[in-house]
Structure 1
C-alpha cells in the first residue's frame, strides 16, 4: 500500500511504540568524541547538497561546498552533466578555488598546475623535462566523488559504497514529484553561525510542539493544533509534519477576525464575510480555497499548480530529510534549512536559510515567509553572518528562524547540566528520538550499507 504512487505508508510520527527508547544524552551535543563518530560513520557516507543547479547553467560553472575540513567542487560539464571533485590539487593538495564561479580549467595558485573541468590534468610546469615517471598531463585526475541531482539541487557523497541518492532520499523524490522545484527562485540566502550543535536544528524542525510558545505569529495562518496535523516518518530517518494552511481554532487573533486568511480568500475571489462563524471561516473557507485554486490557478498565473493536488496547494508539509536538511513545501514557496557542524567545535554550527519562491505571472516581489518581503529575483551572493544574540541578523528580527536561533544557545547550555539526563517527550515529538536512533544506527553501522 502507498499514500501516493509508490510511496510506502509512513510510520505514525506520534506513536512512541516505533521507538527503541535510545536516550538523548547531553554529551551528544558537545562531545568531541561523539562528533568524530558522526564524521567517521555518517557525514562521510551520506549525501550532501553542494548547491543549486540554477547556479551552474553553463559548462565550466562550478559550486564550492566546504564541509568541516573538506571542500568539494561540483562543476557543469560540456555534455550538461555535473561532476564533483575534491577541491585539492593532485600535486601537493592545495585548495584551488574558494568561491563558486566559472572556469575553463582549475588553476592551482601554488605551482600553476591546470586541471580540466573533467578533472584531467592539462598542464604542469616542466612536465616534459622534470618528471622521471613521465609527463603527468592527461594521466593524473582529480579525485572524483559520486554526484547526482534531485529537486534542483546538486548532491554528492564521499563514499563509493553508500546507497544511491534516490535510495538515500526514499521516499522524498516520489512524494514531492508534483513540485517543480528546479523552477523556484532563491530570493533570500543566508549562512549564519550559531553557538549550538548542529542537531539542535534537526530536533527543532522535527516537531511543532514549540510553536505556540516560540512562534505566536504562526497559528493564525497554519493550523498547528495538536490533532490537526499528520506526523509521518520513514525507516531511513526522513519525516514530516503536514499541517493545514488555515487558522487555528485554538489560538485566535486578539480582537477577532484574521486579516491574513481573509486576504488569502479574497485573492482567490472568495468573500471572507460570507461565513456564519469563525469555525466556518477557518474550516469551510479552507475547503473553498482548495476548490478555487484548482479552478482558477491558470487564470491567475499560478502555473506551478499544474500537477499539484488539493493538499499541496493549500497545506504545509514541513519535511526533514535525514540528517540535516529541512524543506518547507508551501504552495508558493520552498524554504530550505540546513545545519552543518563547525570544523573543530561541536558547540557551534552553521545554519543555512534559502528562501525560494515559485514565479507567478505579474508578481515582482514575494513574501519569503522566513525573511520578509523580497524582490522576485535570484540573489547574487550568500549573506555570511554570525548570529551574536541576534545582533548579526537584525533584518531577520521577529521572523520564525530568528526566534529559533534565539533558543539555540540556551538549549546548548542546558545539555551540560547534571539536571538533564534524557528528554521527556510528548507524542508529537516522537520524531526527535527517532532521528537520534537513526543517527545511532549510522554510527553503529546499521544504516547506509
Structure 2
C-alpha cells in the first residue's frame, strides 16, 4: 500500500455513519470486571512499546517493561537483533531485574541461576542434582515475539498476533518520511494519575476541548474544526491533521506579541509585510513552507530531507490503538502513553517522552510539552505522582499538564447517575470509534 492509497483508505473521522453507536458507559472506567476483560481480550494480545532502540545500542543492553503484573526483558543480541523474554526465572518464577541496564548475562537474585543474552541457561548451582539432568544449555527463558518500528522496540504476549507492521498499518507508510530513530529524547516522565487509562486515549482522539483547556494553542495551531482533517482506520488508529498556523477565529489582544510572527522571522519572513492578520496566517503559512523548503539544508534541518510540504509545517496528531499517541511536529515527536494500574482501574500511569530532531548548531530545543530543554538524551525517567499538579510543578501551564488537570474530574463524572452515554459532535466521532474497536477486541471479533 503506498502513502496515497493508505490516506484514501481512511474513514472520515467526522462522519458518525461510520459508527455502530455503542454506548460509552461509565462502568468502563471503574469496573474491575471490565478491567479484567481488557487484560484477557486486549492487553495480552496487542503489541506493546517496551522502549526506544536508542536505549539499547550494544549487545547485552536491555530494556525492562513492566505492564500491570507482567514484566518483559528486551535485550540486544550479538548480531544486532533484539529478543524479548519474560522477566521470570524458569527455576521458581522469580522476577530477575527491575530496570533497564546492560549485562552479559542476567543472574536471578534468589538462587543465582544465570541466563545468557540469548535466553539460554548458562549456570545453575548444583547442576548435577537435577533428576531431569543438568538444565544448563538446555533450558531457556520463555520468549516473546519482538520487532521494531519508528525507533521503538515492540513486543507482544500473543504468539498468534499479526505482524507488527500489519498491526500498525497504515502508520509505517504515512510516517515513512520522518527519521524517527534519530530523534533525541529531551524529557522523560512517568506520571501516576487518578483516572482510568482510557481518559488519555479519549482526550487525544479529539481537539474539541482545546479552546477551553488549551487557550495558548490556537495562535499557532489552527483549531478551527473545518480546517482540520479527521481520519481513522479499521484497526482503531486515527489522527487529526491541523495546519500549524494561527486560527482565524481566535485572536490575541492588540499589542500582544504573536507566536507565529516569531516563527516567520526565524525563516527570514517579515510579518509586517502582510496587509492583514488573515494574510499573515494564510499566506504566511504558504511562505513558510517555501522558506523551509529553500533553507532547510543550509540551516542543518536534515530531518526535512524527505518530508513533504504538509509535514514540514503541520501537526498530524496520531493515536495508535489502543494507548499510544504520537504528535508528529516538524521538529519534534511527542510520545504519550497510558497504561492501567495493576490493581485499581481508577488509576493509570501516563508516559510523556518529548523528542526533538537534532539540528546542527542548536544546543537547546523547545520540547512543546515540557518547555525549553537541552538538546541531548536524558538518562533517567522522572517518576512522579500528579497529585493535583503538585508532583510536576515544572510542567505547570504546559498543554499536557492542562490535560492531566482534567483527569480526576472526568473519572469522578463516570460514577454519576447523571451520565449515561457521551453526547458527541461530529468532530468527536473518533472517541466513540475507539470504544467500538475496543469492544471488538473484548468480544473476540478481532
- TM-score normalised by structure 1 residue count: 0.98
Contact 1:16 1:427 in 2 (8 A): yes
Divergent runs of 4+, >4 A: 5-8
**Deviation by residue 1:93-142 (Cα, 9 ceiling, x = unmatched):** 001100100000000000000000100000000002x1111000011000
Matches within 5 A, 1:73-88: 73-88=73-88
Distance, in Å, in 2 between the alignment partners of 1:226 and 1:245 is 14
Distance, in Å, in 2 between the alignment partners of 1:275 and 1:368 is 29
Distance, in Å, in 2 between the alignment partners of 1:407 and 1:366 is 27
Report the equivalent of 2:179.
180
How far is 1:194 from its partner?
Answer: 0.4
Report the equivalent of 1:132.
131
Report the equivalent of 1:419.
418
Where structure 2 has 5 or more consecutive residues not aligned to the other structure, the ranges are: none
Distance, in Å, in 1 between the alignment partners of 2:257 and 2:67 is 44
How far is 1:255 from its partner?
Answer: 1.5
Matches within 5 A, 1:194-213: 194-213=193-212
Report the equivalent of 1:263.
262
SS of residue in 1 equivalent to 2:219: coil
Report the equivalent of 2:360.
361
Report the equivalent of 1:406.
405
With over 3 angstroms needed to count, the CA separation of the structure-2 counterparts of 1:360 and 1:16, relative to structure 1, is: same
SS of residue in 2 equivalent to 1:398: coil
Distance, in Å, in 1 between the alignment partners of 2:371 and 2:233 is 33
Q: Is residue 2:346 matched to residue 1:335? A: no
Distance, in Å, in 1 between the alignment partners of 2:233 and 2:36 is 26
Report the equivalent of 2:38.
38
Matches within 5 A, 1:101-250: 101-128=101-128, 130-250=129-249
Contact 1:145 1:157 in 2 (8 A): yes
Report the equivalent of 1:11.
11
Distance, in Å, in 2 between the alignment partners of 1:2 and 1:201 is 30
Distance, in Å, in 1 between the alignment partners of 2:88 and 2:38 is 23
How far is 1:226 from its partner?
Answer: 1.1
How far is 1:89 from its partner?
Answer: 0.3
How far is 1:44 from its partner?
Answer: 0.3
Report the equivalent of 2:443.
444
**Deviation by residue 1:374-396 (Cα, 9 ceiling, x = unmatched):** 00000000000000000000000
Report the equivalent of 2:274.
275
Contact 2:2 2:173 in 1 (8 A): no
How far is 1:319 from its partner?
Answer: 0.1
**Deviation by residue 1:302-357 (Cα, 9 ceiling, x = unmatched):** 00000000000000000000000000000000000000000000000000000000
SS of residue in 1 equivalent to 2:28: helix
How far is 1:258 from its partner?
Answer: 4.7
SS of residue in 1 equivalent to 2:127: coil
Distance, in Å, in 1 between the alignment partners of 2:210 and 2:6 is 32
Distance, in Å, in 2 between the alignment partners of 1:49 and 1:126 is 38
Contact 1:246 1:283 in 2 (8 A): yes
Distance, in Å, in 1 between the alignment partners of 2:214 and 2:370 is 14
Distance, in Å, in 2 between the alignment partners of 1:157 and 1:137 is 27
Distance, in Å, in 2 between the alignment partners of 1:433 and 1:425 is 8
With over 3 angstroms needed to count, the CA separation of the structure-2 counterparts of 1:76 and 1:315, relative to structure 1, is: same
Where structure 1 has 5 or more consecutive residues not aligned to the other structure, the ranges are: none
Report the equivalent of 1:314.
313
SS of residue in 2 equivalent to 1:88: coil
How far is 1:4 from its partner?
Answer: 2.4
How far is 1:256 from its partner?
Answer: 5.1
Report the equivalent of 1:252.
251
How far is 1:162 from its partner?
Answer: 1.2
Contact 2:45 2:156 in 1 (8 A): yes
Aligned CA-pair RMSD = 1.0
Distance, in Å, in 1 between the alignment partners of 2:206 and 2:45 is 26
- TM-score normalised by structure 2 residue count: 0.99
Distance, in Å, in 2 between the alignment partners of 1:159 and 1:273 is 58
Report the equivalent of 1:64.
64
Contact 1:3 1:9 in 2 (8 A): no
